[in-house]
Amino acid sequence: MKLDLYHLDAFARRPFEGNPAAVCPLAEWLDDAVMQAIATENNLSETAFFVREEEGYRLRWFTPSVEVDLCGHATLASAWVILNELEERRETLRFFTRSGELRVSRAGEGLAMDFPAKLSEPAAAPEAVLAAVGVASADVRMTDDILVAVDDDAIVAALEPDLQALKALPGRGVVVTAPGREFDIVSRWFGPKVGVDEDPVTGSAHTSLAPYWSERLGKRRLTARQGGRRTGELVCEVREDRVILTGQVVPYLKGTIEF
């Protein structure tokens, strides 16, 4: 069997920035075990697979170890493949996913993703979170991720969390965030529980970050940078119960999987 494979940098303005994702267009679904094996072999934070449906595309995402409910950067990368390689005349895409319908539209040089917003609540046991992350104090909140908000972006840049301790915490991963200097918000996301020690740019995390910082900063439109050694950029706009995440994609490699 031969499958097309695209390797793209999402939330990036040039190669080697943002978050790398693999995208595999399919004519029909493979066994789940085969898709997981491909994602493990790719060894990127996410590999996306999609199949054409009558009104759009069914989209699924796999880390090197598990299938996940929502992924932003691999959705952005999948939309780029469709709009630039498969259906160049289309302006808007509909994706059907485990998190419901997601829409992606052209937006100047980038793509805009319409995702559901997630509101956070105070975490029940912040002490364990602070110890695992390695910060003295923070506003610790919970969605599907643990959100740790600190006051200084230098704290975010210097983080060296205890990854084993993070695995014992509830939720999917931990995002540590602060107000930025060049950007409205900065963050880093850690997900060793799902096989991703640190994700350079996590679009899905911004469905929680954007509503949180929108309320704190009094702004509906936020510029954001995420990452440690490798970083990427996006714009978040809060619209009631939705968040519009806009970013660019840079293609890196196109190849063929044979097995």
Which residues form the catalytic set?
A: 46
Tell me the residue length of the chain: 259
Q: How far apart are CA 155 and CA 70, in angstroms?
A: 27
Contacts 24+ apart (CB under 8 A), 50-53: 50/23, 50/24, 50/25, 50/26, 50/78, 50/82, 50/95, 51/26, 51/27, 52/27, 53/96
Q: How far apart are CA 93 and CA 259, in angstroms?
A: 30
Element (H, E) at 93: strand 92-97
DSSP state of 123: -
Q: How far apart are CA 53 and CA 231, in angstroms?
A: 34
Q: Which amino acid is at 133?
A: V
